Structure 1
Amino acid sequence: MKYLKLIRYQNLLMLALMQLIFRYGFLELQNVPLALADWHYFLLVLATTSIAAGGYIINNIFDVETDMENKPENVIIGKTISEAKAYNLYIGFTIIGVITGFYLSNVIDKPGFASLFIIIAATLYFYATSLKQSLLIGNFIVAFLLSFSVLIIGFFDLYPVTFEENRPVMGLLFGILLDYAIFAFSINFIREIVKDLEGVEGDLNQGINTLPIAFGVKRTTKLVFVLSFAPLVCIVNYVYTNLFVSSLFFGTLYGIIFIMAPLLYFTAKIWTAKNTIDFQHLSSVLKWILFFGILSIVVISLNIKYNA
């Protein structure tokens, strides 16, 4: 169990589930060719989750002192797993991810795509060692890497089999993936700031320059309140324009109940949030919004299929 906690298996399972949902709950339902065979696609999921696991490990290694301040009960390195063993695990997971990515890049005859996995792994390392301490840069990187795990599906499964004849359809599908990537980025970016609010005391003692430390907890909560309107307005517009107008009843209902309503709840609660418990709760709310938002692609796809 200690090893599962080290790699934050819940987050890895969510990442894997997200990529499987987009393949088998969306792309497989479309009448288009896909570049990856099923087992190759599972290797893509393995590559992304392995690199993410390595990122979590290296982050835990450099976060020991901060976690001792914020969440001492969750500290694993130095207690149940030695730092040397953690480094070995980090190297192992990262190598698995990069080598698998290199193999898949050659499978689709795009060897240059292997650099994507190297860049992601390197970014996670620099995030853990230095970039995390820079104002907002760390938040941006974490949010971007999650959104890129959606886009990479398009790069490996759609782009290699895109030709002049099917370019409009493939462009539409890639555009949908981009919409979801932007959604994932916006929600996760806000969540990263909320997590900074949650761990402000430990970050302050370790000299990490987060937004709550630079601007204060109260001002940051108000800023998050304002920021939350951006995805809310976009989602309302998206649901109305693409679902309600198209008479996709179940997709519209799902969007209102499982995405818009929780996001409205978050917006209302962040205004009065003050302590760690409040921020922990709101961070969990955003995590569920992200999950249900990704799951909406299945609901919408099935609604379109059976509404046609």
Structure 2
Amino acid sequence: MDLLKMAEENTPKTPVKHSFLFKFLSLLSVVRGYNIFIMVMAQYLAAIFIFAPEKSLKDVLLDLDLYLIVLATVCSIASGYIINNFYDAKKDAINRPIKSKIDSLVAQNTKLKIYFLLNFIAVMCGLMVSWRAAMFFSVYIFLIWIYSHKLKKYPLSRLISASVLTLLPFFAIFVYFKNFSNIIFTHALFLFLVLMIKELMKDLENIKGDIAQNYLTIPIKYGERFTKILTFILVLFTLDPIYFLWKYPEMGLMKYYFYFTGIVFLIFLYLLYKANSKKDYLILHNIVKLIIVIGVLSLVLIDTSVILQRIL
């Protein structure tokens, strides 16, 4: 099997023994626990304030099916990070040497076993909700593998598929609640554009390792200048969904988040114009991640007038 052969090649011949704590922290680094935590927060906050605003906080938090969907999401995303780390081990050793050393504390064979276990748990959790949920997560897991194995090596498919795969867990939530309002689709479009900007910054940051591994990203194929121009265009495109979200009274105080985003993007574009090094692109990448994280936390601003009532 291709994966097993790769695991054997990437596993040290004389493994160094480490404590359970170090291995656990290493695994947490591999699955990017902080990203998964943000995703869980985003799913629950979206469920409370967007997808099911008529339900009480207690009803949402104690919804077993929602819990199983979130757990399936956690397992499938974690397994996705593992397989991504598996294929990118050599590239990460160049782009992120410190993180790569931390990640390597867990043997590749062990990561592979955890990968299959997490996928099994995800599908079983989906099956406990419905056969459609099980099918969704089965397809989602397959798409993540296709992305890690093939799609991420090509410019356009890498950009679009990475953004789509990040959005798909929210698709499972809003289908579960059967909430198909315009505000949700507009918000999804905004997030999709921001995620594409994030991916472009990530590609600019990782040019050195991508070249070494023959990954044909947009900056490598078309150059940094073209990538900056494309990023500028995507930032302009975000203005359209932002404008429509401003107009929705249902957004409540979250409209101020979009004012904040507009100001931050102006600073972002200036820094992008000046950027010419890995450090510069790392800063820009972190700015976009900050916009996403603050956006998740800002979901509570949608319904501030009834937060206390829903908590009680």
Q: By the TM > 0.5 criterion, same fold?
A: yes
Aligned-residue identity in percent: 26
1:108 aligns with none
1:44 aligns with 69
One-letter amino acid matched to 2:291 = I
One-letter amino acid matched to 2:35 = N
Structure 1 segments unaligned to the other structure (5+ residues): 106-110, 160-169
2:187 aligns with 180
One-letter amino acid matched to 2:274 = T
> Hey, what's the Cα distance between the residues in 2 that align with 1:237 and 1:101?
34
**Superposition deviation, residue 214 in structure 1:** 0.3
Answering whether residue 276 of structure 2 is matched by residue 256 of structure 1, we say: no
TM-score of the two chains, using structure 2 as the length reference: 0.83
1:118 aligns with 138
Q: Is the 8 A contact 2:257 2:295 kept in 1?
A: no
Q: Is the 8 A contact 1:7 1:54 kept in 2?
A: yes
> Hey, what's the Cα distance between the residues in 1 that align with 2:242 and 2:50?
19
Decide which of 97, 100, 103 is 1:75's aligned counterpart: 100
**Superposition deviation, residue 261 in structure 1:** 1.8
1:19 aligns with 43
Q: Is the 8 A contact 1:135 1:209 kept in 2?
A: yes
| Greater mean alpha carbon deviation, residues 214-223 or residues 70-79 | 70-79
The aligned length equals: 282
1:167 aligns with none
2:156 aligns with 136
- Measured against aligned partners, the alpha-carbon deviations of 1:149-171 in whole angstroms (never above 9, x if no partner) come to 21211112x23xxxxxxxxxx44
Q: Is the 8 A contact 1:151 1:178 kept in 2?
A: no
One-letter amino acid matched to 1:204 = I
**Superposition deviation, residue 130 in structure 1:** 1.3
SS at match of 2:274: coil
1:92 aligns with 117
One-letter amino acid matched to 1:116 = F
Structure 2 segments unaligned to the other structure (5+ residues): 1-24
SS at match of 2:155: coil
Say what the alpha-carbon RMSD is for the aligned residues: 2.5
TM-score of the two chains, using structure 1 as the length reference: 0.84
> Hey, what's the Cα distance between the residues in 2 that align with 1:247 and 1:55?
32
> Hey, what's the Cα distance between the residues in 1 that align with 2:301 and 2:113?
41
**Superposition deviation, residue 78 in structure 1:** 7.8
Q: Is the 8 A contact 1:44 1:104 kept in 2?
A: yes
One-letter amino acid matched to 1:112 = R
SS at match of 1:136: helix
> Hey, what's the Cα distance between the residues in 1 that align with 2:37 and 2:191?
16
> Hey, what's the Cα distance between the residues in 2 that align with 1:70 and 1:238?
37
**Superposition deviation, residue 206 in structure 1:** 1.0
2:238 aligns with 231
